[in-house]
Amino acid sequence: EAGVAQSPRYKIIEKRQSVAFWCNPISGHATLYWYQQILGQGPKLLIQFQNNGVVDDSQLPKDRFSAERLKGVDSTLKIQPAKLEDSAVYLCASSLSVGLATGELFFGEGSRLTVL
Amino acid sequence: AQKITQTQPGMFVQEKEAVTLDCTYDTSDQSYGLFWYKQPSSGEMIFLIYQGSYDEQNATEGRYSLNFQKARKSANLVISASQLGDSAMYFCANGGATNKLIFGTGTLLAVQP
């Protein structure tokens, strides 16, 4: 079974530029998450989708971050314009459904962003 | 609101010995789950073990066990017979009704030969 795919793995941009990250979850997984992990910290949830609807985006800085999940499968996370403090690893995860019955979130390898 | 506290920034353990990584949590949910993930230097988050709040027995998965004490709101991870490959960051997380995981700050475990 293929895992969660993310691209690009690494991206370096200058501040005020824009960047987009792509995620393809495990086939059949209804719930998709984007997490931001700043160096030395635990992952912080940015946005959670159930199919193509947003369940939680309370921690997403909406003035610069946007995310969409077209057709309830792939997702893109965009940052425009980027700030120095956006330097982090952006982790995508998926799970079968909302709720604890299935428990586990499956994570991709992450996209490491460096903003200069 | 959910909160996870991991008070040990780093831990050392000798190979083949057991080690306990501490985790305390706070949640207003009646039903919730506690998770442990391992993050090696490659960056991937690897699921280790899960404990549901209504599970009466502590979860075990191979060399991993979760010491769940509900009254004390603690969910410590015990790794038995440590191996060099266990060296990594370990994150505790709490998931509520929507399976939104809130992570702690992590513990860096170093296994010494």
Contact across the interface for A98 and B31, Cβ inside 8 Å: no
Q: Quote the minimal CA–CA distance from A37 to chain B in Å.
A: 10
Q: Is B42 close to A109, i.e. CB distance below 8 A?
A: yes
| Cβ–Cβ gap A55/B100 under 8 Å | yes
Place of tokens 């949910």: B29
Sign of CA dihedral A79, A110, B102, B111: negative
Indicate if the pLDDT at residue A78 is higher than 80.
yes
**pLDDT, tens digit, for every residue of A90-115?**
999 998 866 554 467 899 999 999 99
pLDDT at B30 over 60: yes
Q: How sure is the predictor about A67, in pLDDT bands with cuts at 50, 70 and 90?
A: very high
Which residues of chain A are within 8 Å of residue B103 when distances are taken between CB atoms?
42-44
For residue A16, CA distances in Å to A80, A81, A83, A85 come to 7, 4, 6, 12
Q: What is the pLDDT of residue B100?
A: 80
B66 pLDDT more than 90: yes
- Look at residue B44 in the predicted model and tell me its pLDDT: 87
Beta-carbon pairs below 8 A across chains A and B: 72
